């Protein structure tokens, strides 16, 4: 199955590359291979400029195929990510990484220690870029990893971009992935806003320093429903996220961003036998700042109701919308907050370390949850990375986290992780 997927994607992108040739080349396709580390061609620079700013996403592929006019290029690349993890004095039972929400309260005496070697977050991607007289520069991108059941290939990104539009599936417009700090842990800070979804986004730069974006996005809301009172129904209204960003410094690498999102979450009120809607709003302030050449700061805080799907620790746990204990059949969008603060120290050209803290928390109405349900989680991380070459990176990390329930009971977990990463 995986082989068929890869073969199909390769053939599709190869056909796109051939089709994108200038009309004068319609009867002859001439392709060349180039190393992206040693070329100053404009099309190669575009591959580097459009790479995701997120620490764990792939950069430009090692080699590109490009056409005779150097207007269209296609690359296949990826990341081999080998992560070892030793959990002790408590375990975070999650396939996504170190997730405080998943810590058992009280600690399970039969599961205090755990050792794993994991490669299923290794990534494969396909990227095509070109320049057309009608639409200017354009890009098509597909990526995925092997985090599905039985290590099956799972789609992460699939989109096209042109004329300022991004159409397809990728990181939500509400996210600021450039402000998410480096971690060995694949999940990252538990209070970080990170979610991929289908969207139609428009992005515009007013100048080198100010940019904004607005989108319509597929709703990813989940709920906790009460039998005979309410139930899940279809979502008919897209989410509307937007942001405005100000950048400064060398290469405009420092920035501050304000984001917002409006959600309308449908549910079925069984008492009234009708579909009702809860309107939810969320805001976010995020930043990445180069304080000095040696010190960088990453920070983010997000708050709102119905925004649990965006927050690492809260996503997928039915916390967007919950039963209202004060009104039979009614539901309400649950208030939630997530935040993190992390400092990175560049010790040398190839070595850096960082230290950070993060928290995710919900604010339910009295009577919504029992004392055994989640209230908040904490996440403490310290790590060091060494870039052996441009394509090989080693990392080591210590993690501490805890989960606190509504009744005040809590448990903690510890984890030591190492990483061997190879980009190609």
At 43, the pLDDT band (50, 70, 90 cuts) reads confident
15 Cβ partners below 8 Å, 6+ apart?
Answer: none
DSSP 288-331: EEEEETTEEEEEEEEEEES-GGGBTTTTTSS-SEEE-TTSTT-E
Reported residue count of the chain is: 424
Which architecture, in CATH terms, is 2-423? Beta Barrel (2.40)
Angle, CA 389 vertex, CA 398 and CA 295 arms, to 5°? 55
- Name the average pLDDT for the chain: 91
Token pair in block for residue 244:
């405005």
Secondary element (H or E) of residue 25 = none
Per-residue pLDDT tens digits for 187-205: 999 999 999 999 999 999 9
Burial of 115 (0-12, 13-18, 19+ CB in 10 A): exposed
Per-residue pLDDT tens digits for 220-252: 999 999 999 999 999 999 999 999 999 999 999
- The SS3 assignment for 109 reads coil
Inform me whether the pLDDT recorded for 380 exceeds 80.
yes
Mean pLDDT across 262-291? 97
DSSP 9: H
- What does residue 250 show for φ and ψ, rounded to 5 degrees? -60, 125
Give all strands (DSSP E) within 50-118, no chain letters. Answer: 63-67, 72-88, 114-118
Q: How far is CA 117 from the centre of its chain?
A: 22
Q: What pLDDT score was predicted for residue 8?
A: 53
The residue with greater pLDDT, 83 or 33, is 83
Residue 142 β-bridge partners: 126, 158
At 26, the pLDDT band (50, 70, 90 cuts) reads very low
**CA 351/CA 345 separation, integer angstroms:** 9
What are the CA-CA distances from residue 367 to residues 196, 269, 277 (Å)?
32, 19, 22
Q: Can you give the pTM of this predicted structure?
A: 0.89
Q: Is the dihedral of CA 145, 148, 150, 152 positive or negative?
A: negative
Token pair in block for residue 41:
């061609």
- Cα first-last separation, the chain: 23
What are the CA-CA distances from residue 136 to residues 132, 162, 209 (Å)?
5, 7, 22
Per-residue pLDDT tens digits for 129-147: 999 888 999 999 999 999 8
Angle, CA 272 vertex, CA 271 and CA 276 arms, to 5°? 110
Inform me whether the pLDDT recorded for 108 exceeds 90.
no
- The SS3 assignment for 251 reads helix
Per-residue pLDDT tens digits for 321-356: 999 999 999 999 999 999 999 999 999 999 999 999
**So where are the chain's domains?**
2-423
DSSP 150: G
């Amino acid at each position: 199955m995986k082989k068929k997927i890869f073969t199909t994607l390769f053939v599709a992108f190869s056909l796109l590359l051939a089709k994108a040739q200038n009309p004068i080349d319609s009867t002859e396709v001439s392709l060349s291979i180039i190393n992206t580390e040693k070329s100053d061609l404009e099309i190669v620079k575009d591959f580097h400029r459009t790479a995701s700013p997120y620490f764990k996403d792939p950069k430009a592929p090692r080699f590109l195929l490009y056409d005779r006019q150097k207007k269209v290029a296609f690359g296949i690349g990826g990341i081999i990510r080998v992560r070892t993890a030793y959990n002790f004095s408590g375990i975070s039972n999650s396939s996504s990484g170190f997730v405080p929400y998943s810590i058992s309260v009280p600690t399970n005496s039969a599961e205090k220690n755990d050792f794993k070697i994991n490669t299923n977050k290794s990534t494969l991607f396909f990227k095509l870029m070109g320049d057309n007289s009608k639409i200017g520069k354009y890009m098509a991108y597909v990526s995925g990893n092997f985090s599905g059941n039985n290590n099956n290939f799972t789609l992460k990104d699939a989109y096209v971009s042109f004329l300022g539009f991004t159409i397809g599936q990728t990181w939500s417009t509400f996210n600021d992935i450039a402000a998410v700090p480096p971690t060995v842990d694949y999940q990252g800070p538990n209070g970080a806003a990170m979610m991929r979804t289908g969207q139609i986004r428009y992005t515009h730069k007013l100048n080198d320093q100010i940019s904004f974006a607005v989108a319509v996005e597929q709703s990813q809301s989940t709920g906790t429903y009460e039998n005979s009172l309410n139930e899940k129904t279809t979502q008919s209204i897209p989410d509307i996220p937007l942001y405005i960003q100000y950048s400064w410094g060398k290469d405009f690498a420092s920035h501050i961003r304000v984001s917002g999102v409006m959600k309308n979450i449908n549910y079925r009120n069984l008492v009234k036998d009708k579909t009702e809607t809860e309107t939810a709003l969320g805001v976010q302030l995020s930043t990445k700042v180069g304080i000095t050449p040696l010190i960088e700061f990453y920070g983010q805080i997000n708050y709102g109701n119905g925004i649990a799907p965006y927050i690492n620790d809260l996503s997928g746990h039915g916390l967007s919308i919950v039963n209202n204990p004060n009104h039979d059949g009614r539901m309400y969008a649950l208030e939630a907050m997530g935040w993190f603060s992390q400092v990175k120290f560049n010790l040398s050209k190839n070595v850096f370390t960082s230290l950070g803290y993060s928290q995710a928390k919900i604010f339910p109405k009295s009577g919504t949850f029992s004392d055994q349900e989640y209230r908040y989680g904490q996440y403490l991380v310290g790590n060091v990375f060494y870039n052996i070459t441009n394509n090989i990176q080693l990392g080591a990390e210590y993690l501490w986290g805890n989960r606190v329930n509504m009744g005040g009971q809590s448990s903690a977990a510890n984890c030591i992780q190492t990483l061997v990463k190879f980009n190609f």
